[in-house]
Structure 1
Amino acid sequence: MTDTGMYITLLVVSIALTFGVGRLLVTAGEPFLQEVFQDEKVTRSVNLLLSVLFHLITLGVLAIISVVNIVGNDDPFQTLVARLGVVLLVLGIAYGVSMLVLIRVRERRRADQISEHVQERLAERSMGSTPAQGTAAQAPPAPPATPSQ
């Protein structure tokens, strides 16, 4: 196979892998986003934005990888395999980072929900107490009486 054939093969395989992994990311990320945003339109929108970001960054890195010469390999087939290895590593890292971002977003949202729930419960407790108890607990102690001269 010629150098051009190897180059085209690398691009075709890399692009196919990128779109396959991107599709998997969209599918796997949707339940996370649905749990976070609890609105189908927002979930789809954020999922689409994350997908576009993943594809642009990954395809950009793959374009760079496709033109970098690997030193020490005179055999075009070995060069192709080495570049495909780098492509797979880049895709794996990009997928992992994307999933970590989704998990962190979900965890942050859960923490916010717990905080909101605790604040609501505290507000309910403070409103549920009787006024006499609330004012007695909040009133400062009376100063000691001083004899008048």
Structure 2
Amino acid sequence: MDTGTVYYLVAGVIAIVIVGRLLAFSGKRYLAAARVGAPERESAGSVAMLVSMLFHLVTMGLLALLAAIPFGGDQTQVFLVRIGLLLILVAVTYAIALRMLTRRKQEEVVSGFDAQVRELRHEREHPNGYAVTNDPSAGMAPQPEPEPTLGEPRPRPRA
């Protein structure tokens, strides 16, 4: 293996690791913005890590394939062609990874919206004691019958 290929592999691995870590960190924050609760944050971190791992594996494989392809020319020209192709492939795989994260975020937003709609429907079907009505005596406790005063006759019990 010539020194140009070794330099290419080292530069490629460094670039891939940096971009992959940025993808994992930014992806976690991007997905966590969809929901606020703690379990959702853990889920966002897991999904971002899985997408980042997929990015690393795909781009490392492309790095190895590009290192194995023989290019003609001097070492500097071959190095630049390989780095250029690698950066283009990294950009394409990064765009695919972002699309995966965006799809996941959209699913989270839609499921959160569905949960809110279900909650509102449940409240509408099972109203609490503070439902709004036009009856001014609604929600008031029943009042006892007033005691008759001295001047009023007492009602007779029915037999």
The two structures share one fold, judged by TM-score above 0.5: yes
Question: Could you tell me which residue of structure 2 aligns to residue 115 of structure 1?
Answer: 114
TM-score for the superposition, normalised by structure 1? 0.74
Question: Could you tell me which residue of structure 2 aligns to residue 89 of structure 1?
Answer: 88
Question: Could you tell me which residue of structure 1 aligns to residue 11 of structure 2?
Answer: 13
Larger Rg: 2
CA distance in structure 2 between the aligned counterparts of 1:98 and 1:86, rounded to whole angstroms: 18
Shift of residue 36, structure 1, vs aligned partner: 4.6
Question: Could you tell me which residue of structure 1 aligns to residue 50 of structure 2?
Answer: 49
Q: Which stretches of structure 1, 4 residues or more, deviate above 4 A after TM superposition? A: none
CA displacement, residues 88-122 of structure 1 (integer Å, 9 cap, x when unaligned) = 01111111111111111111110111122112212
Structure 1: runs of 5 or more not aligned: 130-149
1:102 lines up with 2:101 in the alignment: yes
1:22 lines up with 2:23 in the alignment: no
Q: Which fold has the larger relative contact order, with Cα–Cα distance below 8 Å and residues 6 or more apart in sequence?
A: 1
Residue identity (%) = 26
CA distance in structure 2 between the aligned counterparts of 1:42 and 1:106, rounded to whole angstroms: 11
Tell me which protein shows more helix as a share of its residues: 1
Q: Secondary structure at the match of 2:31?
A: helix
- 1:75 is aligned with what amino acid? D
Contact (CA 8 Å) 2:48, 2:101: kept in 1 or not? no
Contact (CA 8 Å) 2:24, 2:52: kept in 1 or not? yes
TM-score for the superposition, normalised by structure 2? 0.69
CA distance in structure 1 between the aligned counterparts of 2:24 and 2:91, rounded to whole angstroms: 15
Structure 2: runs of 5 or more not aligned: 129-159
For the aligned residues, what is the CA RMSD?
2.1
CA distance in structure 1 between the aligned counterparts of 2:45 and 2:105, rounded to whole angstroms: 15
CA distance in structure 1 between the aligned counterparts of 2:26 and 2:92, rounded to whole angstroms: 16
| Equivalent residues in 2 for 1:29-44, closer than 5 Å | 29-36=27-34, 38=37, 39=39, 40-44=41-45
Q: Secondary structure at the match of 1:128?
A: coil
Contact (CA 8 Å) 2:27, 2:48: kept in 1 or not? yes
Q: For this pair of structures, how many residues does the alignment match?
A: 125
